[in-house]
Structure 1
Amino acid sequence: MGRGRIEIKKIENNTNRQVTYSKRRNGIFKKAHELTVLCDAKVSLIMFSNTGKFHEYISPSTTTKKIYDMYQTTLGFDLWSSHYERMQETLKKLKDSNNKLRREIRQRVLGEDLDGLDMNDLTTLEQHMQDSLTVVRERKYHVIKTQTDTCRKRETIHQLEKKFGMVENEGGYESAIAYSNGYI
């Protein structure tokens, strides 16, 4: 008695789907191997599971690169050169962006390379510099305030230690607490 037909649709249960994938993957690898042996065919099989795992089968006498080269020759399309062209375009865009950023740094930080700027560009650059100066000043004043507050706290602690006769390294904070609570 043969097996019944199953409806071909996505298996909703994750565990069942993974088990089916694993079994069928092994079956398709077996078929690819048989095709290679029986027909002397060059077979390359690449699969990605829904969990992102990579599985491949390549005929024993060949490599993935050879298969890609045969594929490109058959199609009359060069995958490598198109990929290289895209990489060259990306490199050009990155170089342009880098040059633009370097020019902005020379203009903002060093005040150089201003000859090609018109009135609007100069006004915009001036506004950016004023905004940056405001941010730097705010940070500077914050640091000064923090340092001043820290110095004041240290001075207050030092005065309390003098007032109550405490010396550093002879109890410190715990001694001050004990003294203030009346235990000493």
Structure 2
Amino acid sequence: MGRGKVELKRISDKSSRQVSFSKRRNGLMKKAHELAVLCDVDLALFVFSGKNRLFEYSTGDSSMNKILTRYQSYKNADEIVRRTVHEKLALEFNEVWTADKLMQITQRHLEENKIQESDISELCQLEKEIESMMQQVRIRKTQIMLGTVKALQEKQKQLHEEKQFMVGEIMAARMNENNVDG
């Protein structure tokens, strides 16, 4: 028989809250340990209590500093990639006609040709030109989006290869340590 669903809200009683915090913190750390062992991952966990006490856990051979250094280098590389992609997109989208620019072109064309005095063939021609401009915008937008996706996929592949290389280096270093110690 399973337990009922627990309503997630702040526990009002201070002692009950402290007991729950302590039990759940221990459970969280146990789950973190299980994840690290079962999946062979490096893991760091920080928990700050309501009284601002720090509880931390890090896995195996990795110290907290090593994990934090890896995290920081990953975040920095990720930020550089995001910023580069964003800047590239901004430059490319500046080349694409905006709705305002299309509206200005259309308005200028309408004023120049005095739309009220145009016959059906001139209006059809204007409509074709507008549709042509819109098609060019759609094509360019699609090219930019596909290029961005391709660039991100290539970056993901590159990062995966770097990760695999680093894992291989770590395994080789561990085997070296074991051979030296043995």
TM-score by length of 1: 0.41
Higher relative contact order (CA 8 A, sep 6+): 2
Q: TM-score, normalised by structure 2?
A: 0.41
Larger Rg: 1
Higher helix share: 2
